[in-house]
Amino acid sequence: MCIGVAPPTKGPWPHPIIAREGWPFLAGAFLLAVLASAWAGFLLAGLAWLVFVFVLQFFRDPARPVPEGAGIVLVPADGRVVAVEKTRDPWLDRDALKISVFMNVFNVHSNRSPVDGEVRGCWYNPGKFVNADLDKASTENERNAVHLRTDAGQDITCVQVAGLIARRILCYVEPGARLTRGQRYGFIRFGSRVDVYLPLDAKPRVALGDRVHASQDVLAELPA
């Protein structure tokens, strides 16, 4: 099961620039700031405008260059790499290389496909909302998994994981859909992580602590 209300965007254009998921929040924050400026004191008005600026930066969704190259797996989300390890992929019941990217509230929260491929399955699991920086978030938090199969027959599992503050995972694809690398397919509101499960023979191109950017940075390389 995948949940969501809007289709993904493909390539750099057309592109929302400010994520459509944030428009209601921006409208509310702007109205609050205008009302505070008209009726409240300088301090409250200033705080209201700071809230508006925070919401604006959170929902930014810039177009990104998409690297070309056979076998490369792109980073699916902005943030910091918090795991590079061999583990069990619970979705496909296989041993896998897991690379996890943690997104804080100052990162872009749009999620993008790491490879060209077909969506073979989607699974949504309710769960807790512990800090997404912790390893147990991968198995205990609310999460949504997307199984992608590349044209070369390699399986990739991308898992959107809710965080301490996040309360809404949005995924806009269903089984049978085709995604291209860098294509926008989902969004997570207010702090979270994305786990990517790769074949064991994939070569990581990132290390723990690296700061990465969705679509423009390479996460790993698949064997030919």
pLDDT at 5: 38
The residues annotated as belonging to the active site are 192
For 143, residues 6+ apart whose C-beta sits below 8 A from its C-beta are 124, 125, 127, 159, 160, 161, 162, 169
| Residue 156 contacts residue 117 (beta carbons within 8 Å) | yes
What's residue 17's pLDDT?
A: 79
Give the model's pLDDT for residue 167: 59
pTM for the whole thing?
0.81
**Tokens matching residue 17:** 């620039």
Token reading at 51 = 């809230």
Residues 18/59/145/134 CA torsion (nearest 10 deg): 160
Nearest C-alpha neighbor of 147 from the set 170, 183, 106, 176: 176
In 10 A of CB 98, how many CB atoms?
19
pLDDT of the residue at 130: 53
Distance CA 41, CA 166 (A): 31
Contact criterion met (CB below 8 Å) for 73 and 219: yes
Instruction: Identify the pLDDT of residue 21.
Output: 78
14 cis-preceded (ω within 30 degrees of 0): yes
All residue ranges of the chain with pLDDT < 70 are: 1-16, 127-141, 163-167, 190-191
Check if the beta carbon of residue 73 is closer than 8 Å to that of residue 202: yes
